[in-house]
Structure 1
């Protein structure tokens, strides 16, 4: 099965890939050449650090190329799920006990970032939300125990 990826997430990964190839890779190649010019490579910390950085960059380039070539890019704007929660939904939740509100967008595993409120489609929270509708109440297993939330809004932002 191909891993789902939003079109925004695919664009972000393509931008990172382009930056790695056109900016970071040439910079580290230059740093290696400069460190080589300093002579003895056995005791040359700059050389070893640059080589390590090069390995990281090349690995990330391979990973991004593989991900982008094997992903199923889904245009969220074309989904017509109404108030039903599916991949790509932006969901607003209200804690039933505290009325604290939180908003999450359900995205592919490779683009999830909790700091930006992008949660993986395979996460426990997303799995609890998928298939539910605006107005439903859902119980989510949180680190501090079970929490009950009301789904107050479901949007699909392309």
Structure 2
């Protein structure tokens, strides 16, 4: 399997979710299954089936997180010398030449992406257009509304 780029923050978030799933959710679900079994006939026991479904989801998510963490390439951008290039983990301030507005994005792994926090996936079209650019470069991004040009204003490794 290919390595999955991840920031240190992203890896910490996944580790915390894994801890919660294993130490809190899993025992709670096991108890719910045990309680539901005590109610008798399992064929028509909705609580039992709901708990088993939760268990299946929980175990699947645990396996997914463990796989991601085992294949993670954790990148701490603060330890990389800032050469002014847009790289994974960097925070980039852009100037949209059409709307004449500035926007700042942090390029992160898929699991960390959250547009509300201006964190975009390294696999997004805008990230792919920005990687390798430096201040004053213009990146052209194909969007559903047409091509958008962004000028790189600032690149931070924080």
After TM superposition, is the score higher than 0.5?
yes
Alignment partners' CA distance in 1, 2:52 and 2:105: 39
Aligned-residue Cα RMSD (Å) equals 1.3
* Equivalent runs, 1:28-107 vs 2, <5 Å: 28-107=29-108
Instruction: After superposition, give the CA deviation of every residue in 1:96-123 in whole Å (9 maximum; x if it has no partner).
Output: 1212222211112233222322222122
Give the 4+ runs in structure 1 shifted more than 6 A: none
Q: Matched residue of 1:133: which SS?
A: coil
Q: Matched residue of 1:109: which SS?
A: coil
Instruction: After superposition, give the CA deviation of every residue in 1:15-64 in whole Å (9 maximum; x if it has no partner).
Output: 00001111111111111111111111111111111110110000000111
Gaps of 5+ in 1: none
In structure 2, what is the equivalent of residue 151 of structure 1?
152
In structure 2, what is the equivalent of residue 134 of structure 1?
135
Alignment partners' CA distance in 1, 2:21 and 2:96: 41
1:140 is displaced (CA, Å) by 0.8
User: Normalization by structure 1: what TM-score?
Assistant: 0.93
Gaps of 5+ in 2: none
Alignment partners' CA distance in 1, 2:141 and 2:32: 49
Query: May I ask how many residue pairs the two structures share in their alignment?
Result: 157
1:3 is displaced (CA, Å) by 1.4
* More off after superposition, 78-87 vs 59-68: 78-87
1:142 is displaced (CA, Å) by 1.3
Q: Matched residue of 1:84: which SS?
A: coil
